[in-house]
Amino acid sequence: MFLPISLLYKIGQRIPRVLILTTSFISAFILVFLLVGCYNVSQSSTYLVKYQFNTESPLYSVISTQFNSQNYTGDLEDVKILSGYMGVCVDNIPADYYRNSSTKSSKVCFNRKKVDDMEIYDDLTIKIFNFKSSNSTDESQSSDLNILDLAHQNSEELVHPYLLMVVIIFTILLFGITFYAMIPKLPFKNQVQLILMGLSAVITLLWAIGAIWAHVAINCNVSLISRASMNIITAEKGTKSQALSWTAFSFMLIDCIIIWMIYFRDRKKLNDKLDDVKSGRNPFSNKYASDTTLAGV
């Protein structure tokens, strides 16, 4: 049995808002997933940048010798540091490193603000060069390099999570307001539509800035870290986080376009109705000439 045309028409009118609900929910889910990347071990695959020692560097043997000079730091040159929005993870930790803990996990993650408080932070500091002062009585000084500190600086100073948090809150708000707009016979529908237009535009603009900001910061890390560390450390961008970031932006842009199209559609319908009313009241209008007595002349 076929559905009535009026019912199909009403369903068709609500399809754009259903699409907005779907895409805004997906966007919020993706952004939350992106935000908690590297905050715990289960989310460590969603990293922004991965750092590791370059095995092809001429100084790699020096680094390896320095780490293996102590039993508990042996093979630390093989670690991989993963930097995310909210945390930093250290992967491929050797089992012999844990000397005061029964837990011997090869991967640990911690808050981005507490990186320098961790014991492994100091253990990953390497001394590259020793400099002898011109004064023979002075002790030699060394140039230190810490691979974990680079990831810490990226998460703490370059890629901030605050803009991402604001966008997530606004996206959830957009979802709720859109759901309100779909419920029939509720008041303030015109005001709600204007709010949706402004909110969708703000969300799209904010995350465009956030995605570009993260993209530039990540690519700067990849391009500069190797050169700045004399090819001792390599940096690799996280393709998964980049894909999530731009996918969310695509959904936001779709939401913004649909919401504005709904506004112009409703505006056009309202203008057509006003024109019909004005034409019906105007006895000299030709729009309804077939209804006049002159039609048969």
For 123: left if phi > 0, alpha if psi spans -120 to 50, otherwise beta; the answer is: alpha
Q: Report which listed range, 114-118, 153-157, 175-179, is most confident.
A: 175-179
Best CA proximity match to 24, nearest among 180, 220, 239, 190 = 180
Output the pLDDT for position 10: 58
Stretch 136-161: mean pLDDT, rounded? 79
Q: Distance between CA 160 and CA 39 in Å, rounded?
A: 14
Output the pLDDT for position 100: 62
Q: Distance between CA 63 and CA 57 in Å, rounded?
A: 10
Instruction: Judge whether residue 187 has pLDDT over 50.
Output: yes
Q: Report which listed range, 95-104, 148-157, 285-294, is most confident.
A: 148-157
Q: Distance between CA 108 and CA 122 in Å, rounded?
A: 15
Instruction: Judge whether residue 172 has pLDDT over 70.
Output: yes
What per-residue string of b and e applies to 209-227 under the rule 16 or more CB within 10 Å gives b?
ebbebbeebbeebeeebbe
What per-residue string of b and e applies to 55-72 under the rule 16 or more CB within 10 Å gives b?
eebebeebbbebbeeeee
pLDDT tens for each residue of 67-82:
888 878 888 889 999 9
Share of the chain above pLDDT 90, in %: 40
**Confidence tier at 286 by pLDDT (50, 70, 90):** low
Output the pLDDT for position 293: 39
Q: Phi first, then psi: what are they for 153, rounded to 5°? A: -65, -35
Output the pLDDT for position 269: 72
From residue 195, alpha-carbon distances to 6, 19, 24, 30 in Å are 29, 18, 15, 23
What per-residue string of b and e applies to 228-260 under the rule 16 or more CB within 10 Å gives b?
ebeebbbbbbbeebbebbeebbebbbbbbebbe
Instruction: Judge whether residue 211 has pLDDT over 60.
Output: yes
Q: Distance between CA 98 and CA 24 in Å, rounded?
A: 44
Tokens of 80: 């991989």
Instruction: Judge whether residue 88 has pLDDT over 80.
Output: yes
Best CA proximity match to 265, nearest among 90, 66, 12, 29 = 12
Lowest mean pLDDT among 6-15, 201-210, 220-229: 6-15
Q: Phi first, then psi: what are they for 82, rounded to 5°? A: -115, 125
The answer to whether 52 and 225 have CB atoms below 8 angstroms apart is no
Output the pLDDT for position 296: 40
Q: Distance between CA 60 and CA 130 in Å, rounded?
A: 16
Stretch 9-24: mean pLDDT, rounded? 79
Instruction: Judge whether residue 34 has pLDDT over 60.
Output: yes
**Confidence tier at 112 by pLDDT (50, 70, 90):** confident
**Mean pLDDT value across the chain:** 83
Instruction: Judge whether residue 101 has pLDDT over 80.
Output: no
Stretch 84-89: mean pLDDT, rounded? 92
